Amino acid sequence: MCGINGFAGKDESLIAEMNRRTAHRGPDFAGVFTDKYVSLGHNLLSIRDASDISHQPYRKDASPWILLFNGQIYNTSALRSELGEGTKGVELDTELLYQAIEKYGWDFINHIHGMYAIALYNQAERIIRLYRDPSGQKLLYYYFKDGTFIWSSEIKGILIHKEVAREVDTGAILTAVNIGYIPGERTLFRYIRKLNLSQFVTFDINSKTLSSDYFLSEADHYYPDNVSLAFTKLIEEHLQSKQKIAVNLSGGMDSSLLVHEMSRLGHEIHSYTNYFEEAGDKYNTDALLARRLSKDYGTDHHEIVVTKKAFLENFIDSYSYIEEPNYNITLPAYLQTAKVEGALGDRNRVVLSGDGGDEIFGGYPYYMRSIEMNRQRQLLTPFFFNIIKNWRNNSSFDFGDMLDRWIFFKRFYTRFAQKSDSSFRSILRESSEKFISLYQLKDGPVYPLMLLDRLLWMGGENFIRSDKLYMSQSLELRSPLSYHPFRLYIDNKLGEQDYIGKSSNKAFLRKHYKGKLPDYIVERQDKSGWRSPIASWYNKDFKNLFMDILPTQSGPLIDWTSIRAKVEETHEWPGKYIHLYLSLAILKKEFNLDI
């Protein structure tokens, strides 16, 4: 896991400054390369091999290719077979990736699988190309305006350039106040974009033009037909590391199966879970189940006690690190987890997460609601169903359109936006159409929603949150169940009937792990997640912090005075929606934005 930076043009001091701004992403080494046309920078977090042979920008004499790579390549065994003798004894995935680039040229992308953000420069062609993997676990931002092209793993790396226009993206902000964050390519800034899943952009240095497209990542016959062997291979691939690997353990199926498979492989297991102070069993159900499971599997278990004090101390930083508006109320607790696990705590460098299981096995409650919605549409006819549903919800959705249905399930509290704008729906459609056309294998009431969740939720909120918070502590997060080849394997394996059973979600997964995982995991029906107890914690300290954060005057997009009045009028927690506006206020101040 690393940080990558660059821009078209030569300035050694500026690229070094970009590296300094993203140094937390890779404290082991900061590398720079410049020529007449580009400046490239890299922060190294060494995981797969010794840091002295992992330095980037990665290049070889007499080769036109120069590589910046952030992430992990997991199909290393297949690559060694494809590339031949020159890979014997090579463990560093960066070296294998570079050899694939030398052999296949720009077509290398069809031969690799992993989680990655890549910047690749060909000196002979004077072409720069940026890539983000189909699961979206790694981020890459870029700025393009009037021929100026800059990119970085984080927005702060781009903003140090004086010529960067800080004009806000109104449509992106109104998208955030409608669904709680900004998925797709948009950011707060009109000219700063993030790569979408499976997207690449190409900058031609000679013509100073930028183009964008998507690649189809295929993985036929990647996993054996036997599902048990497929799970084993998946986890084994994600254990590639010369560093200790920890696992975030909750009481859910997804993280529990990681522990089960790690145990079957004989891997030493260091597990972590959050325990909320003075919150009772309601908010600590996951922690109690994780404690029980850790004893059953004999893991080296750590409970991270999240106190009110730590939550308050982490509050502003947790939203600031993400660099994008976010409504997630538990961000300060996630940051506390990363602090304990990471560089200044237990000094882990790699942690596994169960993120992504809901989006391939059918884990969310609204998937079941979608099935019921289909039944009602058949009974009433689509026309009358739309009329009745929209009348009851004061909405205007076409519930036969899966993106409209997804927005209906995800829609957010918009009262404090100064202007009403429905363009966010077209923004989401624009952001999703190409990806969906590449990877949608089947229809139905559940699968299309899962696909939208992978793109708009996982790639647009979950992995942004995870990457920024964990990398702020020099810690790599791996999510095996989000690995794209495994997703394709499961998609081809399961039908709609395998997602939701008669009384529970994740029907296939529960059946597969019945008798392997304990019944108190497999038969558990409630889904709580790591949800902070801020509603019960809320007191004058929280209220004072919220009031300190919120601007005193309204702006062109947000009615800040009404938000302050809403917080001021009650001693109770205002609700989840307030965190989206708090995050906007924090970023407004940090980036000096007029919103």
Average predicted confidence (pLDDT) for the chain: 94
Residue 311 φ then ψ, to 5°: -60, -45
Helix H segments across 265-381?
280-297, 308-322, 331-341, 358-361, 365-380
Model confidence band, residue 413 (pLDDT cutoffs 50, 70, 90): confident
Question: Which of 169-173, 180-184, 473-477, 527-531 comes out lowest in average pLDDT?
Answer: 527-531
Model confidence band, residue 421 (pLDDT cutoffs 50, 70, 90): low
pLDDT score at 391: 95
* Portion of the chain with pLDDT greater than 70, in percent: 98
State how far Cα 265 lies from the chain centre.
Answer: 27
Do the domain assignments include residue 100? yes
Domains in the chain: how many in total?
A: 4
Residue 128 φ then ψ, to 5°: -115, 135
Do the domain assignments include residue 220? no
Last residue of a domain, one of 177, 193, 214: 214
Residues 446 and 583 in one domain: no
Do the domain assignments include residue 219? no
Residues 58 and 71 in one domain: yes
| pLDDT over threshold 80, residue 177 | yes
DSSP label at residue 167? -
Residues 323 and 452 in one domain: no
The domain that holds 143 is classified in CATH as 3.60.20.10
Residues 285 and 415 in one domain: no
* Average pLDDT score over residue span 345-360: 95
* Average pLDDT score over residue span 332-352: 95
pLDDT score at 503: 78
Tokens of 395: 């909405």
Residues 143 and 165 in one domain: yes
Residues 476 and 394 in one domain: no
Question: Which of 76-80, 216-220, 411-415 comes out lowest in average pLDDT?
Answer: 411-415
Kind and range of the H or E element at 587?
Answer: helix 577-591
Written as one letter, the residue type at 36 is K
CA nearest to 129, candidates 3, 2, 8:
8
- pLDDT tens-digit profile of 89-135? 787 899 999 999 999 999 999 999 999 999 999 999 999 999 999 99
Residues 84 and 10 in one domain: yes
CB 251 within 8 A of CB 293: yes
Residues 75 and 164 in one domain: yes
State how far Cα 227 lies from the chain centre.
Answer: 26
Residues 161 and 200 in one domain: yes
SS (H, E, C) 390-407: HHHHCCCCCCCCHHHHHH
Distance CA 296, CA 70 (A): 36
Do the domain assignments include residue 47? yes
pLDDT score at 220: 87
Distance CA 257, CA 273 (A): 15
CA nearest to 246, candidates 372, 127, 118, 337:
337
Question: Which of 30-44, 242-256, 434-448, 537-551 comes out lowest in average pLDDT?
Answer: 242-256
The domain that holds 284 is classified in CATH as 3.40.50.620
For the range 485-488, what are the long-range contacts, defined as Cβ-Cβ under 8 Å and sequence gap of 24 or more?
485/75, 485/113, 485/219, 485/222, 485/223, 486/223, 486/230, 486/234, 486/360, 487/135, 487/356, 487/360, 487/454, 488/218, 488/219, 488/222, 488/439
* Average pLDDT score over residue span 373-400: 94
Distance CA 164, CA 192 (A): 9
Last residue of a domain, one of 430, 456, 482: 456
Do the domain assignments include residue 221? no
pLDDT score at 518: 96
CB atoms within 10 A of CB 301: 17
Residues 159 and 49 in one domain: yes
> 312 lies in which domain range?
227-360+461-522
SS (H, E, C) 524-564: CCCCCCCCCCHHHHCCHHHHHHHHHHCCCCCCCCECHHHHH
Which class for 543: exposed (0-12), middle (13-18), buried (19 or more C-beta within 10 A)?
middle
pLDDT score at 51: 58
* Average pLDDT score over residue span 203-207: 98
| pLDDT over threshold 70, residue 53 | no
Beta bridge partners of 410: none
Model confidence band, residue 420 (pLDDT cutoffs 50, 70, 90): low
Last residue of a domain, one of 416, 433, 456: 456
Non-local (6+) Cβ contacts of 18 within 8 A are 5, 6, 7, 41, 152, 157, 160
Residues 472 and 448 in one domain: no
Distance CA 417, CA 230 (A): 48
Written as one letter, the residue type at 31 is G
| pLDDT over threshold 90, residue 63 | yes
Residues 289 and 399 in one domain: no
